[in-house]
Amino acid sequence: MSSARHVAIIMDGNGRWARQRALPRAVGHQRGVEAVRNLVRNIEPMGIDCLTLYAFSSENWKRPDDEVDDLMNLMRKFIRSDLPEFIANGVRLKIIGDWQSLASDIVQMLEDALAQTAGGNRTLAVALNYGSQQEIARAAAKAAAIGEVNEKTIAAHLDTNDLPPLDLLIRTSGEVRLSNFLLWQAAYAEMLFVETLWPDFTPAHLQAALDQFAQRERRYGGR
């Protein structure tokens, strides 16, 4: 039986969750943040070393301005409210994507959070303003700049270069696509697509996913 050290989740379904309840989309996003908080509090007993969450993609800027503003304000509130808990519980925050082009106050908050959580013994990696194709292109350009472009040098320049190999990728809400998330890293990851909408996704759902993962035989192209 295999255990998953690195789990990534495409957190999908906030809008549909709100629509089913005749609530504003902002409420769905708020409930989605609560689901994140609940999950992060429970990763240690599940044996997960790194949890990577797709929070805001480079394509999400196409959404209405008011929704983007709501998401950015939720991010600010989440950092302020949960940073002390991260520090107390040994959670190292890592950000992947082009996050330094976000609003200057958010960048400053993230830089402070990264510094204050650097000593954590397990990792919460959050993908912000992230697109996997762009990440691979950046890594390939950096590899070319040192004169050697191959799998090893590209991998060394990915945003995730200091994280364990990706074991399991989960997408909620019933959609079956990767949406430009961790395309390189998912080459040999196991994948699980579940119907549960993200605000309803609990530690019990994650444990069920880990139990399914443990039953899979990973061959990495062999027999």
Let me know if 60 is a catalytic residue: yes
Q: What is the 3-state secondary structure (H, E, C) of the chain?
A: CCCCCEEEEECCCHHHHHHHCCCCHHHHHHHHHHHHHHHHCCCCCCCCCEEEEEEEECCHHHCCHHHHHHHHHHHHHHHHHHHHHHHHCCEEEEEECCHHHCCHHHHHHHHHHHHHCCCCCEEEEEEEEECHHHHHHHHHHHHHHCCCCCHHHHHHCCCCCCCCCCCEEEECCCCCCCCCCCCCHHHHCEEEECCCCHHHCCHHHHHHHHHHHHHCCCCCCCC
Q: Which of 42, 60, 89, 180 is catalytic?
A: 60
Let me know if 211 is a catalytic residue: no
Residues annotated catalytic, as ranges: 12, 60
